[in-house]
């Protein structure tokens, strides 16, 4: 919903998009209603975008690029920066590294990792958190989170290795129907050649070893082959570059993978939970 107070709080990118879109619309001699009809939005939505009462969504930017872009790519480029501005402050530095990464080694012990979430799962997870967020902010965060999964389809491809605690797969977020769809999506991702998904089973500690007890972590290989570690706890985050610390976390991540079910067994469990087991 558009809010008048957003006009004064709009980001520089949102203001730039608004000014450029309005100028190009007028140059094309299109009314707000006519532009809205071409991009699938109401005249009120176009007006809200042009006044920054409601910044352009990802889909609206795609429509603006198609109708007004003239091949310059300005609205397509703006999508990247609008997405960035929607992320929480503690996450913005990491997400740039994530999207450009050559490889990711991920361990998630609380929820399905954000790169692999469906829209419904993300909405239930974000919307059900505490303190409660306004509906508009929930939708912004959902849109930004789902936009991250372009990494899985990017060319050149990134190698992504994910380990999930089994409890993550069994914890119902939103509803059983949402979880079934999430499991099917996760299984589809796991079948990609650049993605490996493993499950750290509930009995993984029965042998006396359990490397995953210290929490979730992400090891990133950057485009210049540097390795970094990202940690996040209770909405606080740390990006580590110290070689000794990074080495320890990378070794821990490798040990977690070794203790997890192999990819074939993991996929079978995910398909079972999705109800798709043959």
- In the prediction, which pLDDT does 229 show? 96
CA distance 192 to 160: 10
Nearest to 107 by CA among 178, 204, 241: 204
SS3 196: strand
Alpha carbon distance 107, 219 (integer Å):
9
Residue 129 CA to residue 41 CA, distance in Å, equals: 30
CA 141 to chain centre: 9
Q: Name the DSSP letter for residue 51.
A: T
3-state secondary structure of 259: helix
Distance, first Cα to last Cα, the chain: 45
pTM of the model: 0.76
Q: How many helices (H) and strands (E) does the chain have?
A: 13, 6
Those residues whose C-beta lies under 8 Å from the C-beta of residue 139, and which sit 6 or more positions away, are 123
Q: What is 164-188 written as a DSSP string?
A: EEHHHHHS-SS-HHHHHHHHHHHHH
Per-residue pLDDT of the chain (278 residues; tens, 9 = 90+): 444 445 567 788 888 999 999 999 999 999 999 999 999 999 999 999 999 888 888 889 999 999 998 888 889 888 878 877 777 776 877 888 999 999 999 999 999 999 999 999 999 999 999 999 999 889 989 988 998 999 999 999 999 999 999 999 999 999 999 999 999 999 999 999 999 999 999 998 888 889 999 999 999 999 999 999 999 988 888 999 999 999 999 999 999 999 999 999 999 999 999 997 55
What pLDDT is recorded for position 2?
A: 46
- Report the pLDDT value the prediction gives residue 238, as an integer from 0 to 100: 92
């Amino acid at each position: 919903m558009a809010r008048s107070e957003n006009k004064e709080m709009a980001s520089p990118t949102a203001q730039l998009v608004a000014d450029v879109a309005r100028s190009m619309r007028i140059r094309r001699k299109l009314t707000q209603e006519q532009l809205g009809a071409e991009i699938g939005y109401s005249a009120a939505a176009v007006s809200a975008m042009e006044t920054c009462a409601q910044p352009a969504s990802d889909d609206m930017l795609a429509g603006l690029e198609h109708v007004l872009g003239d091949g310059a790519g300005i609205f397509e480029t703006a999508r990247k920066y609008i997405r960035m501005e929607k992320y929480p402050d503690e996450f913005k530095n990491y997400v740039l590294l994530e999207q450009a990464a050559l490889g990711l080694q991920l361990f998630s012990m609380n929820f399905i990792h954000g790169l692999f979430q469906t829209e419904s799962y993300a909405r239930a997870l974000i919307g059900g958190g505490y303190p409660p967020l306004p509906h508009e902010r929930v939708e912004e965060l959902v849109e930004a989170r789902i936009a991250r999964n372009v990494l899985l389809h990017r060319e050149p491809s990134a190698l992504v290795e994910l380990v999930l605690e089994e409890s993550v797969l069994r914890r119902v977020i939103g509803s059983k129907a949402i979880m079934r769809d999430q499991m099917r999506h996760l299984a589809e991702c796991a079948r990609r050649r650049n993605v490996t998904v493993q499950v750290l089973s509930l009995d993984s500690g029965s042998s006396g070893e359990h490397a995953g007890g210290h929490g979730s972590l992400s090891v990133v290989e950057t485009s210049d082959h540097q390795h970094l570690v990202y940690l996040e706890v209770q909405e606080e985050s740390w990006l580590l570059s110290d070689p000794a610390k990074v080495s320890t976390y990378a070794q821990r991540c490798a040990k977690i993978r070794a203790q997890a079910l192999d990819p074939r067994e993991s996929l079978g469990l995910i398909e079972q939970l999705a109800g798709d087991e043959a």
